[in-house]
Amino acid sequence: MLSPRLLEILRTYWHDAHPREWLFPGNIPGQPISRDAIGQACPTPAIATAAGATTVTTTTATATACRRMQANDMGRWTGSRATRVRASETAPGDMPALIEPELATLVQHHPAEGDWSYEIKFDGYRMLARLERGEVRLITRNGHDWTDRMPRFRKALEALPADSAWVDSEAVVLDANGKPDFNALQNAFDRRSTADIVLYVFDLLWLNGTDLREQPLRARRTLLHELMEQAESPLLRYSDDFAEDPASLVASACKMKLEGIIGKRADAPYRSGRSNDWIKLKCNLRQEFVIGGFSRVRGAKSGVRSLRLGVHEQDGTLRYAGHVAPHLSPARSAAFARRAHTLQQAFPAFYNAPEPERDREFHWLAPDIVADVSFLEWTPNGEVRHPVFHALREDKPARAVTEGKVADELGAGNIGSTRERPGPRGTVIMGDIKISNPQRVMDPASGRTKLDIVRYYDAISEWALPCLHARPLALVRAPDGIAGELFFQKHSERARIPGVEELPVSVYPGHKPLLVANTADALVGLAQMSVVEIHSWNGAAPDLEHPDRVIFDLDPDPSLPWSAMLEAALLVKVVLDELGLRSFAKTSGGKGFHIVVPLTRRQGWEEVKLFSQAVAQHMTRVVPQRFSAVLGPKNRVGKIFIDYLRNGRSASTVAAFSVRARPGMAVSMPISWDELKDVKGGDLRLTRSNGQICS
């Protein structure tokens, strides 16, 4: 057990787990947004706006912390603090046994006018909960009673401080990234194991004998928010709404690979059934598929019920990837039928052809026709989910159709994008920046060049920038390669670094202006100036007096095996978990390991440093044979030094995704705790050909 003093120190620094999930990057253009109300710290996908940009985020706290912070001794809720609904406007009467849910209409564009609010579109099961005098029923969208399938939620809803209520919600399972995972949800119900399911509650239709459905959405959600503030169970989550620009919200949702967003008229009543008062804007993947066959109703002589889709594997075989209903004009349908007739064959081209269906017959085709299809996601068994047919493609060769994994993973910063083009006299232009001496070898051990590093930082910018935004930098430059002399730089010198900005002197008085890299061009500019390593502060502008994270740098005796590092990291995590502190892991790019704990900006540098020192000293007392809290090689013989000194003012730590100026060009890489056991060594390296990461 931790000492009472350490518990007190750690709880002082408790935070509701960084609302931006820095471990799963590409979604954090701004700084952390602290929530003053600790009761709002439970996990909820959210969308926040910071530094002029909008982003989808995920706010998560441990169940222990939520229970501790949300528990209270208040009586049953009366709604006295809410925006009250006048009694004359309500519809008293018997509580309905069933309520049909309101459904959203799919649209391509958000409304240009009107009073709209937007929420995350959850990828789960719609669930309406009925509570009356302590008895709870959970009803699906189609009216099925699933109460017995979700016993934990019966108890959670029974504890709500209300005598009677109807609430509208979505049952969701969050993956390791904090995003809804529909396949995991299905598996949870199939296994009859609902431990990972949570309910995101977004509407209140009835409360304590009052029918609220005729009230405007804004009033209903005000009442709902106050009700949920007093919910004691972390299984129940309030779904936040956002008034930001919906185009930015959709873009951010798609970047995070969420399903999309829901728009709702803030002044509209609740209407069962499909309604234009609720709209949905969805995110979809889109690519070409080979048509390996089609199906029609058994016995029919014509018509196409669905196209059977496929993609080529790396070995050239054709994998079945699902089916889609085509939407063709009569002329195009006739043209497809004529072409399909010439391609018919007795056996499927798929190596994993779908099973026969009782009411349909399959017609197999030689894999020559290509279809353009959008879809929500790939299922675990390699099929498309929620596909939508767009067109037949005459300009795409079927043999070139594969699953588009690389583009999906690397995003807009792909190598070979239009950002890179030849420049004069042997230079390369990346974006707006001219790269001089692109073929200079930066690492003789691996042969990696300056252009390799430029390409890497450009490709990784979408992921790296959220970790760097507005943080002062400390740079390691290698003008003659890493085998030559290295230079450490914190300020601009004679030559300005392209794309890199200087913070105002007022942010850090008495010092030269500090440097920040907030754009992809800034990262390219750093690489152009032969910067290899990028280090950053634990604080960010404009408030450099209050750090927003603390880092535990595990620095081992070089003789220790990597397995000892992994065990040590997990031991530290156990302590943090016990206190409700959420932590994230990343490799250092060398033998070490970093554990990052996000903080709200309430404490100064000295307090945060004291906190990290207290944790290090506690680990040393509890497991003295493994840890040291004293600097110096002689103090860590056979042990791991927990370096807390990186948490002081102006101290810096190598940034996530930074290359290291060491032979082999290792990279500091965030990894999930679940992936920790699969890491084979301390180094993740930069490949020469395309800037990707390999182990």
* 5 vs 333, more confident: 333
What pLDDT shows up at residue 327?
A: 84
What value does the mean pLDDT take over residues 17-21?
28
Q: How far apart are CA 372 and CA 376, in angstroms?
A: 14
* Residue 633 phi, psi (nearest 5): -60, -35
Catalytic residue among 121, 450, 573, 609: 121
What pLDDT shows up at residue 93?
A: 61
pLDDT band at 395 (very low <50, low <70, confident <90, very high): low
The answer to which of 381-395, 412-426, 465-479 has the lowest mean pLDDT is 412-426
pLDDT(179) > 90: no
pLDDT digits (tens, 9 = 90+) for 517-561: 999 999 999 999 999 999 999 999 999 999 999 999 999 998 888
What pLDDT shows up at residue 81?
A: 33
pLDDT band at 320 (very low <50, low <70, confident <90, very high): very high
What pLDDT shows up at residue 25?
A: 27
What pLDDT shows up at residue 385?
A: 87
23-27, 483-487, 491-495 — most confident range: 483-487
What pLDDT shows up at residue 425?
A: 64
> Whose structure tokens read 């002062």?
472
The identity of residue 101, as a single letter, is: P
Domains of the chain: 16-68 (no CATH), 78-269 (3.30.470.30), 285-401 (2.40.50.140), 420-532 (3.90.920.10), 549-694 (3.90.920.10)
Residues 6+ away with beta carbon under 8 Å from 238? 40, 44, 200, 201, 202, 224, 225, 228, 229
Beta partners for 515? Answer: 502
pLDDT(108) > 80: no
49-63, 244-258, 478-492 — most confident range: 478-492
pLDDT band at 495 (very low <50, low <70, confident <90, very high): low
What value does the mean pLDDT take over residues 640-668?
92
pLDDT(472) > 70: yes
pLDDT(602) > 70: yes
Q: Side-chain half-sphere of 431: how many Cα atoms within 13 Å?
A: 21
What pLDDT shows up at residue 337?
A: 93
pLDDT band at 185 (very low <50, low <70, confident <90, very high): confident
What pLDDT shows up at residue 326?
A: 92
pLDDT digits (tens, 9 = 90+) for 674-694: 877 777 555 566 643 334 343
Asked if residues 473 and 515 have their Cβ atoms less than 8 Å apart, the reply is yes
Tokens (6 digits) for 420? 């890179």
pLDDT(36) > 90: no
User: Does residue 121 carry a catalytic annotation?
Assistant: yes
pLDDT band at 604 (very low <50, low <70, confident <90, very high): very high
Please report, in angstroms and rounded to a whole number, the separation of the first and last CA atoms in the chain.
37
115-119, 186-190, 423-427 — most confident range: 115-119
Q: How far apart are CA 623 and CA 341, in angstroms?
A: 74
What pLDDT shows up at residue 552?
A: 95
Q: What is the mean pLDDT of the chain?
A: 79
Report the sign of the C-alpha dihedral through residues 249, 251, 254, 259, in that order: positive
> Whose structure tokens read 């792909």?
414
pTM: 0.45
pLDDT(31) > 50: no
What pLDDT shows up at residue 686?
A: 61
pLDDT(28) > 60: no
pLDDT(590) > 50: yes
What pLDDT shows up at residue 423?
A: 64
pLDDT band at 316 (very low <50, low <70, confident <90, very high): confident
Residue 419 exposed, middle or buried by CB count within 10 Å (0-12, 13-18, 19+): buried
Q: How far apart are CA 422 and CA 419, in angstroms?
A: 10
What value does the mean pLDDT take over residues 6-19?
30
Residues 6+ away with beta carbon under 8 Å from 615? 6, 10, 552, 572, 575, 642, 644
pLDDT band at 250 (very low <50, low <70, confident <90, very high): confident
What pLDDT shows up at residue 204?
A: 96
What pLDDT shows up at residue 682?
A: 53
What value does the mean pLDDT take over residues 656-667?
91
Nearest to 326 by CA among 340, 312, 341, 346: 340
* 625 vs 82, more confident: 625
pLDDT digits (tens, 9 = 90+) for 194-231: 778 999 999 999 999 999 999 999 999 999 999 999 88
pLDDT(399) > 90: no
What pLDDT shows up at residue 30?
A: 30
* Percent of the chain at pLDDT exceeding 70: 80
Three-state secondary structure of 258-302: CCEEEEEECCCCCCCEEEEEEEEEECCEEEEEEEEEEEEECCCCC
What pLDDT shows up at residue 286?
A: 77
The two beta strands, 388-393 and 360-375, are: antiparallel
Calculate ∠ Cα 375-381-387, nearest 5°: 15
